[in-house]
Amino acid sequence: MNHYHIYEAIGRGKYSTVYKGRKKKTIEYYAIKSVDKSHRNKVLQEVRILHTLDHCNVLKFYSWYETSAHLWLVLEYCVGGDLMTLLQQGVYSGRKPQTKHSGRIPDGKHKDAIKNIGGVNLLRLSRIAKSNLQRENEKENYRRPLPNSSKNDEEVKIENHDMELDFNENTEEGGNDETEGTDNAASTAEDNLSTPSKPESELEETNNTMNQSDTSDAVDTPLLDDTKAKEHSSSDHVEGISAAATPPSASPQLKTPRVRDVSGRALDFDGIKSSSDLSEVLWHPSDLSVRPVMPSRKFDKGSDAIPSLPFHAIHPSDFTKTPKDKLDILYNRIISIMNGNVNGEKQNVIRYLEMLSTNADAANVLTNGPIMLLLVKMLRQSKALALRVQLSSLIGLLIRHSTFIGDDLANSGILGALTDGLRDRQEKVRRFSMAAVGELLFYISTLNDSARDNTPQESPCKDSRPSSSWQVPNALISLISSVLRKGEDDLMQLYALRTIENISSHGGYWATRFTSQDVISNLCYIFRAPGKQESMRLTAGSCLVRLVRFSPPSIQHVTEKLPLKEISSGLFKGNQREQQICLNLLNMAMLGSQFLTNFGRFLLPLMEDKNLVSNLISLIEQGSEVLKGKALLFQFFCNARLLSAVDRLSKEKDQYVQHCLQAFVHSVVSTLPGLLETITGDIQQLMGSRRHGLIPGLNSRSSPKNSIHFFPVVLHLLGSSSFKHSVVTAQVLHLVANLLKLTELPFQGRDDFQITLLRVLESISEEPPAINNNPIIFIRQVLPSLAALYKGNKDVDARFLCLKIFFDVMVLLLSEASDDEQRAEDLKSISNVHFLPLYPSLIEDEDPIPMYAQKLLVMLIESNYIKISDILHMKAVSQCFEFLLGDFTTINVSNVMLCLALASAPELETKILSQLKVVRKIGNLLEFVYAKEMEDFIEPTLGLCRAFLLRSIGSRSGFVYSKQPTLLYDGSSEGTMDQQQCIKDIIDFGSNVGVLLELSRSPEVNISDLASECLVLLFKAAPREATMNFLMNLYKVFVFLESGRHSISHLVVERILHALGFSCRQYLLQSMILSICMSDLAKIEAIVSDLRSSSIKNVADASSRVALELQRIHR
Q: Summarize the annotated binding site as residue ranges.
A: 33
The 10 Å CB-count burial string (b at 16+, else e) for 834-863 is: bbbebbeebbebeeebbbbbbbbbbbbbeb
DSSP 3-state percent helix, strand, coil across the chain (nearest 5) = 60, 5, 35
Taking phi first (over 0 means left), then psi (-120 to 50 degrees means alpha), and beta for anything else, what does residue 825 get? alpha
Question: Which of 33, 38, 275 shows the shortest CA–CA distance to 171?
Answer: 33
Taking the CA atoms of residue 156, residue 161, residue 167 and residue 169 in that order, the dihedral angle to the nearest 10 degrees is: 170
- Give the burial class of 527: count Cβ atoms within 10 A of its Cβ; 0-12 exposed, 13-18 middle, 19 or more buried: buried
Nearest to 161 by CA among 102, 111, 227: 227
* Spatial distance between the Cα atoms of 385 and 432, rounded to a whole number of angstroms: 13
Q: Give Cβ neighbours of residue 751 (< 8 Å, ≥ 6 apart).
A: 795, 798
The enclosing H or E element of 290 equals: strand 289-290
Q: Is 11 exposed, middle or buried (0-12, 13-18, 19+ CB in 10 A)?
A: buried
Burial status of residue 604 (CB atoms within 10 A of its CB: 0-12, 13-18, 19 or more):
exposed
C-alpha 758/C-alpha 808 separation (Å) is 13
Query: Is 946:1013 a contact under the CB 8 Å cutoff?
Result: yes
Secondary structure letter of residue 71 according to DSSP: E
Sequence-distant (6+) residues with CB within 8 A of 870 are 832, 836
Q: Which residues are annotated as a binding site for ATP?
A: 33
Q: How many CB atoms lie within 10 A of CB 645?
A: 20
What are the E-state strand segments in 211-264? Answer: 221-222
**Buried/exposed 1003-1039: b ≥16 CB within 10 Å, e otherwise:** eeeebbbbbbbbbbbbbbbbbebbbbbbbebbebbbb
* H or E element that contains 695: none
Q: How deeply is 212 buried, as exposed, middle or buried, from its count of CB atoms within 10 A (0-12, 13-18, 19+)? A: middle
First vs last C-alpha separation in the chain: 90
State how far the Cα of 72 lies from the Cα of 573, in Å rounded to an integer: 30
Residue type, 253: Q
- Widest CA span in the chain: 150
Q: Are 143 and 8 in contact (CB under 8 A)?
A: no
Residue 151 CB partners (closer than 8 Å, separation 6+): none
Own/partner contacts of 305-309, CB < 8 Å, gap of 24 or more, are 306/352, 306/355, 307/348, 307/351, 307/352, 308/348, 309/345, 309/348, 309/349, 309/352
Q: CA-CA distance, 362 to 817, in Å (whole number)?
A: 80
Q: Which amino acid would we find at residue 539?
A: T
CA 421/CA 94 separation, integer angstroms:
47
Rounded Cα–Cα distance for residues 497 and 503 (Å) = 10
Q: At what angle do helices 414-422 and 385-401 cross, to 10 degrees?
A: 130
Burial of residue 330, with CB atoms counted within 10 A of its CB: 0-12 exposed, 13-18 middle, 19 or more buried: middle
* Cis check: omega of the bond before 848, within 30 degrees of 0: yes
